[in-house]
Amino acid sequence: MRIFDPHIHMTSRTTDDYEAMYAAGVRALVEPSFWLGQPRTSPDSFRDYFDALLGWEPFRAAQYGIAHHCTIALNPKEANDPRCLPVLDELPRYLVKDRVVAVGEIGYDSMTPAEDTALATQLQLAADHGLPALVHTPHRDKLAGLRRTLDAVRESALPTERVLVDHLNETTVKEAKDSGAWLGFSVYPDT
Protein backbone atom coordinates (compact mmCIF):
# COMPACT_ATOMS: atom_id res chain seq x y z
CA MET A 1 0.00 0.00 0.00
CA ARG A 2 1.24 3.50 -0.84
CA ILE A 3 0.56 6.22 1.75
CA PHE A 4 0.58 10.00 1.37
CA ASP A 5 1.01 11.95 4.63
CA PRO A 6 -0.55 15.39 4.13
CA HIS A 7 0.75 17.02 7.33
CA ILE A 8 3.95 16.05 9.09
CA HIS A 9 6.79 18.17 10.48
CA MET A 10 9.92 16.27 9.43
CA THR A 11 12.30 19.09 10.35
CA SER A 12 11.98 17.90 13.93
CA ARG A 13 12.29 14.19 13.05
CA THR A 14 15.29 11.94 12.54
CA THR A 15 16.16 9.90 9.47
CA ASP A 16 15.06 6.83 11.45
CA ASP A 17 11.55 8.21 11.04
CA TYR A 18 11.95 8.48 7.26
CA GLU A 19 13.13 4.87 7.21
CA ALA A 20 10.16 3.70 9.32
CA MET A 21 7.73 5.72 7.23
CA TYR A 22 8.98 4.13 4.02
CA ALA A 23 8.72 0.67 5.56
CA ALA A 24 5.10 1.47 6.50
CA GLY A 25 4.29 2.51 2.93
CA VAL A 26 4.72 6.30 2.95
CA ARG A 27 5.84 7.48 -0.48
CA ALA A 28 5.01 11.20 -0.38
CA LEU A 29 4.38 13.88 2.22
CA VAL A 30 3.65 17.55 2.78
CA GLU A 31 5.54 19.41 5.48
CA PRO A 32 3.79 22.63 6.51
CA SER A 33 6.03 25.42 7.69
CA PHE A 34 5.32 26.06 11.36
CA TRP A 35 6.57 27.50 14.63
CA LEU A 36 9.72 25.58 15.55
CA GLY A 37 9.27 25.76 19.31
CA GLN A 38 11.19 28.94 19.96
CA PRO A 39 10.60 32.35 18.45
CA ARG A 40 12.41 33.41 15.32
CA THR A 41 13.23 37.09 15.48
CA SER A 42 14.37 38.02 11.98
CA PRO A 43 13.49 37.35 8.35
CA ASP A 44 16.90 35.70 7.91
CA SER A 45 15.92 32.84 10.22
CA PHE A 46 12.77 32.26 8.15
CA ARG A 47 14.76 32.28 4.91
CA ASP A 48 17.10 29.64 6.34
CA TYR A 49 14.10 27.54 7.39
CA PHE A 50 12.28 27.90 4.06
CA ASP A 51 15.48 27.04 2.18
CA ALA A 52 15.81 23.89 4.30
CA LEU A 53 12.21 22.91 3.51
CA LEU A 54 12.96 23.27 -0.18
CA GLY A 55 16.47 21.79 -0.22
CA TRP A 56 17.65 19.76 2.74
CA GLU A 57 14.36 18.06 3.65
CA PRO A 58 13.58 16.89 0.10
CA PHE A 59 17.13 15.52 -0.08
CA ARG A 60 16.73 13.67 3.24
CA ALA A 61 13.35 12.27 2.21
CA ALA A 62 14.63 11.14 -1.19
CA GLN A 63 17.31 9.04 0.50
CA TYR A 64 14.42 6.90 1.77
CA GLY A 65 12.28 6.92 -1.37
CA ILE A 66 9.83 9.58 -0.17
CA ALA A 67 8.76 12.63 -2.20
CA HIS A 68 8.81 15.74 0.01
CA HIS A 69 6.57 18.76 -0.63
CA CYS A 70 5.91 21.72 1.64
CA THR A 71 3.77 24.71 2.43
CA ILE A 72 5.32 28.11 3.13
CA ALA A 73 4.02 30.93 5.33
CA LEU A 74 4.50 33.24 8.27
CA ASN A 75 2.87 31.24 11.03
CA PRO A 76 0.26 32.86 13.30
CA LYS A 77 2.34 32.78 16.47
CA GLU A 78 5.25 34.69 14.95
CA ALA A 79 2.94 37.08 13.09
CA ASN A 80 2.66 38.91 16.43
CA ASP A 81 6.34 39.90 16.39
CA PRO A 82 6.85 43.05 14.27
CA ARG A 83 10.43 41.97 13.55
CA CYS A 84 9.05 39.01 11.58
CA LEU A 85 6.53 40.87 9.42
CA PRO A 86 9.02 41.52 6.57
CA VAL A 87 8.78 37.76 5.94
CA LEU A 88 5.44 38.48 4.25
CA ASP A 89 7.35 40.36 1.52
CA GLU A 90 9.68 37.37 1.05
CA LEU A 91 6.94 34.79 0.53
CA PRO A 92 6.27 35.37 -3.20
CA ARG A 93 9.75 34.20 -4.18
CA TYR A 94 9.12 30.91 -2.35
CA LEU A 95 5.54 30.37 -3.45
CA VAL A 96 6.61 29.88 -7.08
CA LYS A 97 8.88 26.93 -6.23
CA ASP A 98 7.85 23.52 -7.58
CA ARG A 99 7.77 21.76 -4.21
CA VAL A 100 5.51 24.39 -2.60
CA VAL A 101 1.95 23.10 -2.76
CA ALA A 102 0.11 25.64 -0.56
CA VAL A 103 0.38 28.74 1.61
CA GLY A 104 0.44 27.58 5.22
CA GLU A 105 0.21 27.10 8.07
CA ILE A 106 -1.65 30.38 8.40
CA GLY A 107 -4.51 31.32 10.71
CA TYR A 108 -4.73 32.15 14.38
CA ASP A 109 -2.87 31.55 17.60
CA SER A 110 -4.16 34.28 19.94
CA MET A 111 -6.57 36.00 17.50
CA THR A 112 -4.82 39.37 17.52
CA PRO A 113 -5.06 42.23 15.01
CA ALA A 114 -1.54 41.34 13.81
CA GLU A 115 -2.74 37.81 13.08
CA ASP A 116 -5.77 39.23 11.22
CA THR A 117 -3.43 41.21 8.96
CA ALA A 118 -1.05 38.30 8.35
CA LEU A 119 -3.94 35.96 7.56
CA ALA A 120 -5.56 38.38 5.10
CA THR A 121 -2.22 39.06 3.40
CA GLN A 122 -1.43 35.38 3.01
CA LEU A 123 -4.91 34.46 1.77
CA GLN A 124 -4.36 37.07 -0.94
CA LEU A 125 -0.94 35.60 -1.74
CA ALA A 126 -2.54 32.16 -2.11
CA ALA A 127 -5.13 33.59 -4.51
CA ASP A 128 -2.46 35.49 -6.45
CA HIS A 129 -0.30 32.38 -6.86
CA GLY A 130 -3.12 29.93 -7.60
CA LEU A 131 -2.35 27.95 -4.45
CA PRO A 132 -4.62 26.55 -1.77
CA ALA A 133 -4.25 27.68 1.84
CA LEU A 134 -3.59 25.45 4.84
CA VAL A 135 -5.21 27.14 7.83
CA HIS A 136 -4.26 26.38 11.42
CA THR A 137 -7.09 26.73 13.93
CA PRO A 138 -5.95 27.91 17.37
CA HIS A 139 -5.41 25.49 20.22
CA ARG A 140 -7.31 27.82 22.57
CA ASP A 141 -10.88 28.94 21.88
CA LYS A 142 -10.94 26.81 18.76
CA LEU A 143 -14.56 27.53 17.76
CA ALA A 144 -14.13 31.31 17.93
CA GLY A 145 -10.90 30.93 15.95
CA LEU A 146 -12.65 28.86 13.30
CA ARG A 147 -15.42 31.44 12.95
CA ARG A 148 -12.93 34.28 12.67
CA THR A 149 -10.97 32.27 10.11
CA LEU A 150 -14.02 31.56 7.98
CA ASP A 151 -14.96 35.26 8.07
CA ALA A 152 -11.46 36.15 6.83
CA VAL A 153 -11.68 33.56 4.05
CA ARG A 154 -15.09 34.86 2.93
CA GLU A 155 -13.65 38.39 2.80
CA SER A 156 -10.67 37.23 0.72
CA ALA A 157 -10.20 36.53 -2.98
CA LEU A 158 -9.49 32.86 -2.25
CA PRO A 159 -12.51 30.59 -2.72
CA THR A 160 -13.43 28.61 0.39
CA GLU A 161 -13.07 25.36 -1.54
CA ARG A 162 -9.33 26.20 -1.93
CA VAL A 163 -8.87 26.24 1.87
CA LEU A 164 -8.01 23.31 4.13
CA VAL A 165 -9.01 24.12 7.72
CA ASP A 166 -6.82 21.99 9.95
CA HIS A 167 -6.67 20.89 13.58
CA LEU A 168 -10.43 20.48 13.75
CA ASN A 169 -12.13 18.58 16.54
CA GLU A 170 -15.67 17.71 17.56
CA THR A 171 -16.43 21.34 18.49
CA THR A 172 -15.53 22.75 15.07
CA VAL A 173 -16.19 20.08 12.46
CA LYS A 174 -19.84 20.91 11.67
CA GLU A 175 -19.23 24.61 10.96
CA ALA A 176 -16.08 23.83 9.00
CA LYS A 177 -17.92 21.21 6.92
CA ASP A 178 -20.83 23.57 6.29
CA SER A 179 -18.39 26.23 5.02
CA GLY A 180 -17.31 24.17 2.02
CA ALA A 181 -13.65 24.14 3.07
CA TRP A 182 -11.54 20.99 3.14
CA LEU A 183 -11.29 19.43 6.61
CA GLY A 184 -8.21 18.35 8.54
CA PHE A 185 -8.29 16.74 11.97
CA SER A 186 -6.01 16.56 14.96
CA VAL A 187 -6.49 13.84 17.51
CA TYR A 188 -6.21 15.43 20.94
CA PRO A 189 -5.98 13.41 24.15
CA ASP A 190 -8.76 15.52 25.69
CA THR A 191 -10.94 18.30 24.26
Q: What is the pLDDT of residues 54-100, one digit of tens each?
A: 999 999 999 999 999 999 999 999 999 999 999 999 999 999 999 99
How far apart are the C-alpha atoms of 171 and 158, rounded to whole Å?
A: 25
Q: Which has the higher per-residue pLDDT, 35 or 130?
A: 130
Candidates 47, 94, 43; CA nearest to 72 is: 94
How far apart are the C-alpha atoms of 106 and 33, rounded to whole Å?
A: 9
Predicted TM-score (pTM) of the model is 0.94
- Domains defined along the chain, listed by start: 3-185 (3.20.20.140)
**CB neighbours of residue 151 within 10 Å:** 11
How far apart are the C-alpha atoms of 184 and 164, rounded to whole Å?
A: 7
Question: What confidence score (pLDDT) does residue 3 get?
Answer: 94
How far apart are the C-alpha atoms of 67 and 59, rounded to whole Å?
A: 9
Percent of residues, the chain, with pLDDT higher than 90: 89
Question: What confidence score (pLDDT) does residue 187 get?
Answer: 75
Question: What residues contact residue 99 under an 8 Å CB cut-off, 6+ apart?
Answer: 53, 54, 58, 68, 69, 70
H-run or E-run covering 134: strand 133-136
Using pLDDT thresholds of 50, 70 and 90, give the confidence band for residue 190.
low
